Amino acid sequence: MSSIEPSAAGQGRLMASGQRRLRLYVTMGQRLLRDSLLFQILLHDEVELVGESETGVATLNRLKTATPSVLLIEENLQDNDGLTIAEHALAMNPSLSVLLISDTPVSSGRMAIYLEAGIKAVVSKDQPVQELIKTLFYIRNGQVYVGNWQQEPAPAAMLAYQALSGREREVAQLMASRLPVRDIAGRLGVSCKTVHSYKDRIFVKLGFERLPELILFMQRHQHGAAE
């Protein structure tokens, strides 16, 4: 069927950064969180979901056939605690990277216990999603992530705004209010392409990938970190 080159193994472009596909298994009790997290995570095309379950035992069963490279698991499961499950999983496959999701911020004491058990990172439910995603990608090659569980009071994000130049701020503003690119271009008296350029720069500077992130950012920025 045609002589079309199958677009060279993998996605090329973005593939350069890390290793291969991140094979993910997710264990999380509540569907709402699991779903919305998954939608978020699956936006990244190097992630392959190899399985999911709601309970610890189900996870241990499936883990034999699914062969994830990363296990994202909640600390508190209905039938067990994530730590125990993770330990079993690690016993079966020591090269698995486990990211634990805890309900509350972790103390350094607990952190030590987790690391001891071979868990690669812990993210609490009080942290931003991006934090979780960043961590996920960070640990995927086996690295341990002992990042800012120290819970900085929302600094980086707001400081980032300072990094935007005047024109960039204007555009960020208008884009966050959902004004279509064409209108923004019209209002600023420049070409659409220029607006796109600003958009690109803004997204790079702030580390965003999609409009909702910017909207949320601007919203939070305006109504102060008062939040």
Sheet bearing 47-53, strands edge to edge: 47-53, 22-27, 70-74, 97-102, 121-124
Query: 99 near 123, Cβ under 8 Å?
Result: yes
Query: Binding of a second copy at residue 186 (CB under 8 A)?
Result: yes
Residue 178 binds what, of a second copy, DNA, none (CB under 5 to 8 Å, by partner type)? a second copy
What's the min distance (Å) between Cβ of 215 and DNA?
13
Rounded CA separation 23/86 (Å): 16
Residue 20 binds what, of a second copy, DNA, none (CB under 5 to 8 Å, by partner type)? none
What's the min distance (Å) between Cβ of 123 and DNA?
25
Dihedral (CA of 184, 189, 193, 195) sign: negative
- Selected from 114, 149, 198, 217, the binder of DNA by CB under 7 A is 198
Residue 217 binds what, of a second copy, DNA, none (CB under 5 to 8 Å, by partner type)? none
Residue 197 binds what, of a second copy, DNA, none (CB under 5 to 8 Å, by partner type)? DNA
- List alpha helices for 18-74, DSSP H: 31-41, 56-62
Tell me, what DSSP letter sits at residue 210? Answer: S
Among residues 100, 96, 119, which one has the least CA distance to residue 50? 96
What's the min distance (Å) between Cβ of 70 and DNA?
22
Phi and psi (nearest 5°) for 80? -170, 180
Query: Which residues in the 66-95 window bind a second copy by CB under 8 A?
Result: none
- Cα distances (angstroms) measured from residue 223 to each of 213, 215, 219, 220, 226: 16, 12, 6, 5, 7
Query: Which residues in the 80-99 window bind DNA by CB under 7 A?
Result: none
Query: Which residues in the 23-42 window bind a second copy by CB under 8 A?
Result: 30-33, 35-40, 42
Q: Which stretch binds DNA (CB under 7 A): 98-106, 111-119, 144-152, 162-170?
A: 162-170
Residue 43 binds what, of a second copy, DNA, none (CB under 5 to 8 Å, by partner type)? a second copy
Structure tokens at 183: 């209108």
* Contacting positions for DNA (CB under 7 A): 7, 13-14, 165-168, 180-182, 188, 190-194, 196-201, 210
